[in-house]
Structure 1
Amino acid sequence: MSIQDTSRRTVIKQMGATALALGGGTLLGARSAFAADPVQLISHRYPALEFWAGKMKTALPGVDVNAQLIPFEKMGELVTIAMSSKSATFDIVYVIDSTVASYARNGWLRPLDDLWAKYKKEFALDDFSDAAMKMCSYKGHIYAIPGTVNTMMFYYRKDLFDAAGKTPPKTMAEYQALAKSFHTPARAGTIDCLKPSDATLNEAHWYMNTIGAGWFDDKWKPIFNNARGVRAIEALKDTTKYAQRGFATAANDECTIALQQDAAVMGQQWATRARSVDDPKQSRVIGKFDWTPMPEGKARVLTDGYAISAFSKQDPDKLFRIMATATREANMREAAAMLVPPRKSLLQDPELRAKNRFYAAAAQAIETGVPFPALPEFYAVGEFISRRILQAVTGEMPVKEALDKAASETEAYLGTRGYYK
């Protein structure tokens, strides 16, 4: 379900249902129902984000923070509905690099430059890496406080690789050959996460940058349907022969479970999921995985964090202090097992690197990674790009035809946004 094919009334009903399901007991928009007028946080959900939400709840004495943590696509739908109507429903909003650009362009976020300068020393804000700050900014203005640097890495069962005399792949061809060689009825050769739209775009991004020439040219004209782009998606289609069952509806959670439950040997997955395959409460393969950057690099890298809604009625100083307190160095050190910290002092910390064995691979993957295109509308056009890719991969349409349709739809959409004047 997407904004494009969901009525406004339906999505607003879902907003209420989400609030009730998460324990709010009241429609999110009904501000008057909250006696203490708590700060409203909306966020994607994974372990590191649950940690940040918990820290925000206790950041300022006497300030109540109501955290709504939901899957990425649904969160995006609710934010879009609220922000496009200039609603004060949300105060603090989870963002990633591409949504920073989109929301800032639309005027939905409050610039943080003044607050950044005011609290720079108190919260050691100059400790954030340049890469993280670049992805939290738009047209020279800061719009978010970084919470995590995240990148997709190559996960592989070192025990199975060692037993077979195999080493991690260096090329796409080697990756596919390994997926085929390890594939059995009981255990998939690789994971693939192709649930539209975020998971599909994440997965295809590596193929589009390794075999293809990227998504767009310098005029924002699609190039993902050229000869190299077609070869990229054909390679993805070929790889799915060795994927876990249900790959077409699998996102990060489903793919992580496949790795944890000994149902797949390898694949690309986020660095923030590395700790979960060693979690004795969830995993059957503790200590058996290792990590490297994706072959040839060029997998997705992003910074996520928190921004202030331009329509919030709350005191911006209070909101900024909540975010900055939650992400200060001591808390980030505590959360280091769940994320790759965007603070320079922690990224290079020998003790943290020793405790978190995925750090070395993550640091290398960040250096070789490629962010999504800096196009504010990338997630909007990604809705139909991802669906066309899935149609191509599952054989519903020929690859070239599917990508040509996606390119045509993308150009039509961006044309209405003034990109090709």
Structure 2
Amino acid sequence: MTIRPNVPMMKGATAALLLSSVASGALAQDAIRVISHRQPALEYYTQQMVEALPEGRVNVELMPIDKELELASITMSSESDAIDVLYLTDSSFKRFAANGWLEPIDDLWEKYSDEYDLDDFPQSVIDAVSYDGSIYAMPILTNTELFFYRKDLLDEAGIEPPETMDDYMAAASEMDSARRAGTIMSLKPVDAALNEAHWYMNAIGDGWFDEDWKPIFNNEAGVAAITRLKEMSEYAPRGFTAHANDESTINLQQGLATMGLQWFTRAAAMDNPEQSRVVDQIDWVAPPGGGARVANDGFAISAFSSGDREEMFKMMAEAASKESMQEGAKYAMPPRLSVLENAELAEQFRWYPAARAALESGKAFPAMPDFNDVGEIVTRHILRAVTGEAEVKEALDQAAAETEELLAGRGYYD
């Protein structure tokens, strides 16, 4: 696998120069350029793409999700062919598809359905990677957030795994100490903070919007949700406003935090003796109160790629094959029915029972192409509230006003 260093995100002429330089290098090698978020499951699946084609045909670049999305947005808004294939979350996928930045793959899906057993994907998953009636991405993983906790420490303290948000707060308070934080908390803008807030908005609040896309996150229940988030931050590690998945994973692995919300894809890392000091000490349940994020993510082909779309589709399909996903199940929940229904998974990977429970109680982000842009607004004001820069009600009211202005300008209201 060819993995380049993380690309620093810059604006304007600097970004254009950077993209021109990187694109020239990729084209000179006549290789398919794949960009993706860096996490264990995606390291595995991008490696499957590398192995699907002859050596040197695929270049993979892995980076934090916010940097990947910014790089992709800059590239595609300029209609550059510097990216061929990219990983997208469920929310970012809708925005990219709505902007016309992705290549529809319905014809290839039909052509290769038998060869790659594509009917093995449930319709709900196909719907999740479709927009306006067309399929745009190859499903690669179903991801859900779990509640990670130190079973050894809670057992020693006589504390049951929390089932409600009140239980969670009581346990975090009890376990918080100068040596070890009571809970992890991932509030780095935008993706990590939005994930954390999504859980509180569903477990305590009434969600994000009403049926007409009017914000309701600033109502009484929403204020209570973010007030609780602010209260919980007292038991979080220092620097939590700059923490995303990597930082929170490390805090759990190194025994620096006792519990908290984290993605299914990070579960295997807890038992990796080369990285973790807490092997066999972490356990999992569905997030207290329910409502944590569930996502169906995948890889899509850029509408501006000059590569062979059929070759790229087959590369993605090989990575998403039944055999590949059977092995990849240790890193992420596979969206194929034949793999999900394998009873051996729960025996082999001890976090699967909690994941199935989390899927039942979880909730996806609102199904709007502009939710990432809404997230930039909302997380900025939530952080103002959590850090004490503004009162919670004031911050959420301001976020709601800016959100409504944004959506009005994009035609959401009559």
Shift of 1:269: 0.3
TM-score (norm: length of structure 1): 0.93
**Which residue is equivalent to 2:13?**
9
CA distance in 1, matches of 2:19, 2:385: 33
**Which residue is equivalent to 2:23?**
29
- 1:121 corresponds to which of 114, 122, 143: 114
Ranges in structure 1 where 5+ consecutive residues have no aligned partner: 17-26
Q: Residue 234 of structure 1 aligns to which amino acid in structure 2?
A: T
Shift of 1:369: 0.9
- 1:164 corresponds to which of 133, 157, 173: 157
Secondary structure in 1 matching 2:353: helix
CA distance in 1, matches of 2:301, 2:289: 37
Q: Residue 306 of structure 2 aligns to which amino acid in structure 1?
A: K
- 2:101 corresponds to which of 96, 108, 117: 108
CA distance in 2, matches of 1:14, 1:372: 32
**Which residue is equivalent to 2:6?**
none
Q: Is the 8 A contact 2:19 2:82 kept in 1?
A: no
**Which residue is equivalent to 2:70?**
77
The residue correspondences of 1:150-229 to structure 2 (distance < 5 A) are: 150-229=143-222
Shift of 1:7: 3.2
CA distance in 1, matches of 2:243, 2:56: 38
Aligned residues: 406
Q: Is the 8 A contact 2:374 2:403 kept in 1?
A: yes
- 2:257 corresponds to which of 255, 258, 264: 264
TM-score (norm: length of structure 2): 0.95
- Percent of aligned pairs with the same amino acid: 51
CA distance in 2, matches of 1:222, 1:10: 36
**Which residue is equivalent to 2:5?**
none
Q: What per-residue deviation string (whole Å, max 9, x for no partner) do you get for residues 315-367 of structure 1? A: 21111001001111111112221111111111121222211001111111112
Q: Is the 8 A contact 2:49 2:316 kept in 1?
A: yes
Shifted more, 98-107 versus 59-68: the winner is 59-68
Is residue 390 of structure 1 aligned with residue 383 of structure 2? Answer: yes
Q: Residue 193 of structure 1 aligns to which amino acid in structure 2?
A: S
Distance 1:231 1:390, change over 3 A: same
- 1:60 corresponds to which of 30, 53, 64: 53
Shift of 1:140: 2.4
Q: Is the 8 A contact 2:271 2:278 kept in 1?
A: yes
CA distance in 1, matches of 2:173, 2:107: 54
Secondary structure in 2 matching 1:337: coil
CA distance in 2, matches of 1:102, 1:415: 16
Q: Residue 24 of structure 2 aligns to which amino acid in structure 1?
A: A
Q: Is the 8 A contact 1:11 1:77 kept in 2?
A: no
Q: What per-residue deviation string (whole Å, max 9, x for no partner) do you get for residues 76-107 of structure 1? A: 11111111111111111111111121111111
CA distance in 2, matches of 1:314, 1:329: 26
Is residue 371 of structure 1 aligned with residue 375 of structure 2? Answer: no
Q: Is the 8 A contact 1:8 1:81 kept in 2?
A: no
Shift of 1:384: 1.9
Secondary structure in 2 matching 1:154: strand
The CA RMSD over aligned residues, in Å, is 1.5
CA distance in 2, matches of 1:161, 1:268: 16
Q: Is the 8 A contact 2:218 2:396 kept in 1?
A: yes
Q: Residue 139 of structure 1 aligns to which amino acid in structure 2?
A: D
Q: Is the 8 A contact 1:157 1:288 kept in 2?
A: yes
CA distance in 2, matches of 1:122, 1:306: 19
CA distance in 1, matches of 2:208, 2:285: 25
Secondary structure in 2 matching 1:302: strand
CA distance in 1, matches of 2:18, 2:262: 29
Ranges in structure 2 where 5+ consecutive residues have no aligned partner: 1-8
Q: Is the 8 A contact 1:292 1:361 kept in 2?
A: yes
Shift of 1:129: 2.9
Q: Is the 8 A contact 1:153 1:292 kept in 2?
A: yes
Is residue 140 of structure 1 aligned with residue 133 of structure 2? Answer: yes
CA distance in 2, matches of 1:7, 1:230: 35
**Which residue is equivalent to 1:22?**
none
Shift of 1:15: 4.5
Q: Is the 8 A contact 1:93 1:309 kept in 2?
A: yes
